[in-house]
Amino acid sequence: MDSEVLLSEAVALLRRLIETPRPSRQEARAADVLEGFIQERGLDCKRVGSNLVLGLERHDVTLPTLLLNAHIDTVKPTTAWTRSPYEPSLEGEALYGIGANDDGAPLVCLLQAYRMLLQGKQPYNLLLALTAEEEVSGKGGIESVLPLLPKVDVALVGEPTSMQPAIAEKGLMVLDVTAKGRAGHAARQEGDNAIYRAIDDMQWFRAFQFPKVSPLLGAVKMTVTIVNAGTQHNVVPSECQFTVDVRSNELYSNEELLRLIAQSVQGEVKARSTRLGSSSISPSHPLVLRAIELGGKPFGSPTLSDQALLPFPSLKLGPGDSRRSHTADEYILLPELRRAIPYYYRLLDGLSL
């Protein structure tokens, strides 16, 4: 397949995606765009909600299975954009628009590489899942697709990593902590101020370090991000609630961290979910070794992706820079697209799993 044609198609498709608002749980129109592109090229495609799965019809039970995955959705644009987020604009070699970097570029490049890989006989089953709700870790995204898939041996998740192989990523757990006190009049020595109780717990979250530190992902990171308390200036508050963002490494499960935290603070601790654990793949996995052969330098990623929901080994790798994700005036560089499509092909062509 002609590389320039593949690149031109990828850029045109990415422009169409930028023009199509697709915040999490509102991806249907973008899924329509992708489904039309796929069908026009004669590829089989199964749609589940706003998720698209390619390759199910060719499954051979005697072969291992490789899953390619990228997400369709974006975050909502911030007010800091200096240009229209939904109008793709090319300035020099930078294509601006929401989702250009996260996750439009990895998605269109994986799709084109998938088409290239189908031109030859691969020693594995090849699936491609373009999925929804990644930015909110929603149950209508990759989780709704997994039951439809055959046994998967390994996945490549397309995310902006500057085409370097992320062999581990931190997990996420969001905690809601409630400190209890007793109401009273602020003018007198009455009550038990819940804010002061919460401050003690916040100081613990700020200062405490879990002893197990990962060589790839570093220490568990805990950050207080939201605080709510009080009803009026002259009432000692009886309750203070705050939220903690916890980024776990692979040395602790979220359940273990939750138990240790609950034992260490005074307030009542509730986890919104513990399902988004840290994920990793063995440095000696054939997919990782092939990436190293191609000049890749394995690293641990601090950001979360759909890897957290995959019950099998996975590698995160794709064009773009993670630091551009979720930012105003997001962009992707055309040379990044030009490099990514053939790189994905070289990485996966003939790979023995």
pLDDT tens track for 107-118:
999 999 999 999
Mean pLDDT of the 267-283 span: 96
Residue 142 has pLDDT above 90, yes or no: yes
One-letter identity of residue 221: K
The mean of the pLDDT values for the chain is 97
224 to 118, 125, 217: CA distances (angstroms): 48, 44, 20
pLDDT tens track for 164-189:
999 999 999 999 999 999 999 999 98
Say whether 306 sits in a helix, a strand or coil: helix
Mean pLDDT of the 35-41 span: 97
pTM summary value: 0.92
Mean pLDDT of the 229-253 span: 97
115 to 6, 38, 43, 127, 343: CA distances (angstroms): 9, 10, 9, 11, 14
By the 8 A CB rule, do 205 and 331 touch? no
280 to 51, 111, 158, 257, 346: CA distances (angstroms): 24, 24, 15, 18, 22
Residue 37 has pLDDT above 90, yes or no: yes
pLDDT for position 189: 87
Phi, psi of 264 (to 5 degrees): -105, -15
Q: Determine the distance from the C-alpha atom of residue 186 to the mean position of all C-alpha atoms in its chain, rounded to a whole number.
A: 46
pLDDT for position 268: 98
pLDDT tens track for 46-86:
999 999 999 999 999 999 999 999 999 999 999 999 999 99
Q: What percent of the chain has pLDDT over 90?
A: 99
CA dist., res. 353 & res. 349, Å (int): 11
pLDDT tens track for 290-346:
999 999 999 999 999 999 999 999 999 999 999 999 999 999 999 999 999 999 999
pLDDT for position 163: 98
pLDDT for position 145: 97
The confidence band for 124, taking pLDDT boundaries of 50, 70 and 90, is: very high
CA dist., res. 69 & res. 53, Å (int): 9
pLDDT for position 106: 98
Residue 320 corresponds to which tokens in the numbers above? 């773009």
Mean pLDDT of the 146-154 span: 97
Residue 1 has pLDDT above 90, yes or no: no
- Cis amide leading into 306 (omega within 30): no
For the beta carbon of residue 81, count every other beta carbon within 10 angstroms: 16
pLDDT tens track for 206-224:
999 999 999 999 999 999 9
pLDDT for position 333: 98
